[in-house]
Amino acid sequence: MIVQLGVDCHHLDPLGGWLTTEQMASRDFIVFDTFKNMGIGVAWNLAGGYQITADGGIGPVLELHANSAKACIEVHASKRDRKAS
């Protein structure tokens, strides 16, 4: 399954504007956890995100994308789902 986890839906994004950082983290965790529990592999891509800092940097967007990666790692590195060797 291919999933697009865009970050332009963040409430501070000039083109989006409805989900908080915490809500987006929950979204990402739910997506990864659901597919894992269904036994479906998932690939995700970075998408959207138009926030910039005062000096034109894209740090806020990179941080939101990093949160998606953290959710993926949390789900797939979870010890609770590992089988005993």
Confidence of residue 26 (pLDDT cuts 50, 70, 90): very high
What pLDDT was estimated at residue 16?
A: 82
DSSP 15: T
Listed by start position, the domains of the chain span: 2-81
* Interval 37-80: pLDDT, tens: 999 999 999 899 999 999 999 999 999 999 999 999 999 997 65
Whole-number Å distance between alpha carbons of 15 and 50: 7
CB 51 within 8 A of CB 13: yes
CA 11 to chain centre: 15
- 84 has pLDDT over 80: no
pTM of the model as a whole: 0.85
What pLDDT was estimated at residue 78?
A: 72
